[in-house]
Amino acid sequence: MQVVPSLDIQNGRSRLVWWPGASSGVGTPTDRPEVIAVALAELGAPYVHVVDLDGARLGRPANLTAIGAIARAVAKPLQLAGGVDGPEQIEIAFAAGATRIVLPLWSVAEDHAKLAQCLRIAGDWLAIGLDARPASLHDYPWRQRAEPGLDELVVELGDLGVRRFVFSHARTAPEHELVASLARRVDAEVMVAGGVSSLHDLLLLRDGGVAGVILGEALFTGAISLYEALEAVG
């Protein structure tokens, strides 16, 4: 299983300060995304996940300079979420230096033609981001169909060519079990983003068949060490 660090970018800077030596007073804190990405890559990160918070608000990639700086600084893939809602935004993201994309479910939930366009551009490097809470589907205004079950929807998207899924809000044991069961049912890479706060959680997801976990705040607060997490799942 992969353990992937995540950076939240706002106004060109990391929303959280990176200072792994805070407890002992060594090292220098930084909010420069490219500096943090280099540190994470040196610890063994397989790639870097970036959330463009401004892009999510604006509906298009916004922190292009920061994305480009990260891409130039590390020889690792860069996965972008936030502000990438369709084919035009994917092209902008790739031009800036991203190599993988997380597309929100709502942008293609009932538009299979749009999904096909996105897949033509990004191929297997396109992931669909979903909320692991089944009740989340109640909030979407389904217009062309009855509300599907989460498992039904994931299988359907897999049949349409989606080979990667990123589940957010998987914080409880039932949600972990749901994601693990979906990972076993679909011929696709299934990842969990957030909601993991211990090595125990990581191992449970690994043993359930989840391909990777994206860690953000847990790394910045020191709740989980990236090095120890990589060793634990290795």
pLDDT digits (tens, 9 = 90+) for 118-171: 999 999 999 999 998 878 888 888 998 899 999 899 999 999 999 999 999 888
In angstroms, rounded to a whole number, what is the distance separating the alpha carbons of residues 88 and 118? 9
What pLDDT does residue 130 have?
95
What pLDDT does residue 25 have?
64
What pLDDT does residue 227 have?
92
On average, the pLDDT of the chain sits at: 93
- Angle among Cα 4, 44, 200 to the nearest 5 degrees reads 55
- Least-confidence region, from 22-36, 105-119, 150-164, 184-198: 22-36
Query: What band does 172 get if pLDDT is binned at 50, 70 and 90?
Result: confident
Exposure string of 164-203, with b = 16+ CB inside 10 Å and e = fewer, is bbbbbebbeeebbebbbebbeebebbbbbbbbbeebebbe
Mean pLDDT of 5-24: 89
Mean pLDDT of 57-81: 96
Mean pLDDT of 13-40: 88
What pLDDT does residue 23 have?
60
- Provide the annotated active-site residues: 8, 131
Q: Which residues contact 67 (CB under 8 A, 6 or more apart)?
A: 9, 50, 52, 61, 78, 80, 93, 96, 97, 98
What pLDDT does residue 194 have?
83
What pLDDT does residue 22 have?
64
Q: Residue 159 has which token pair?
A: 């049949």
Mean pLDDT of 74-85: 96
**Is 44 a residue whose pLDDT tops 80?**
yes
Mean pLDDT of 198-209: 90
Angle between helices 173-185 and 150-159 (to 10 degrees): 30
